[in-house]
Amino acid sequence: MTAMPPLHRLKVHEDARGKLVAIEGPGDIPFAIGRVYYIVAGDGSSRGFHAHRTLQQVMMCVHGSCRVVLDDGRARSEYSLDRPDEALAVGPMTWREMHDFSPGAVLLVLASDRFDEDDYIRDYDVFVREATGGAA
């Protein structure tokens, strides 16, 4: 399966009763889901500040909004997640930071594998060395 673009619109089924956003695989996300979790962050707080060596993720703010910064060791990109039908793909070896959570925001994360502490890189300088092969 080909990788999804970083920012991806999910299918919305809407009628007079409201909206239903469904995520079906394969197709809506580029991997089999190994773990699902969500973050309910304090107003304006920041989270993340790490990368994963192999894990893939898809993030969506199902309530409220937040700002996500992605970094591949050479360049940074910034995304505003403020729609429950918008998903952000985060590949392996990508530093991620989540900032500016609105009050009551809920960030849902679909991950390609279960939690594995050994997959984390929590030091930015180590991440840059690994991501760029020491070229940065």
| Residue 50 bears catalytic tag | yes
At residue 63, the 3 state secondary structure works out as strand
pTM (2 decimals)? 0.89
Please give the pLDDT value at position 41. 81
- The whole-number pLDDT of residue 61 equals 96
Element (H, E) at 78: strand 76-81
Mean model confidence pLDDT for the chain: 90
**Domain range list for the chain:** 7-132
pLDDT value at 4 more than 90:
no
CA distances from 15 to 11, 12, 19, 28 (A): 13, 10, 7, 21
Architecture in CATH of 7-132:
Sandwich (2.60)
Of 8, 13, 50, 63, the active-site residue reads 50
pLDDT of residue 2: 41
Interval 77-103 mean pLDDT: 95
- For residues 66 and 47, what is the distance between their CA atoms, to the nearest angstrom? 10
Residue 135 has pLDDT above 70, yes or no: no
CA distance 64 to 1: 31
Residue-level pLDDT at 72: 95
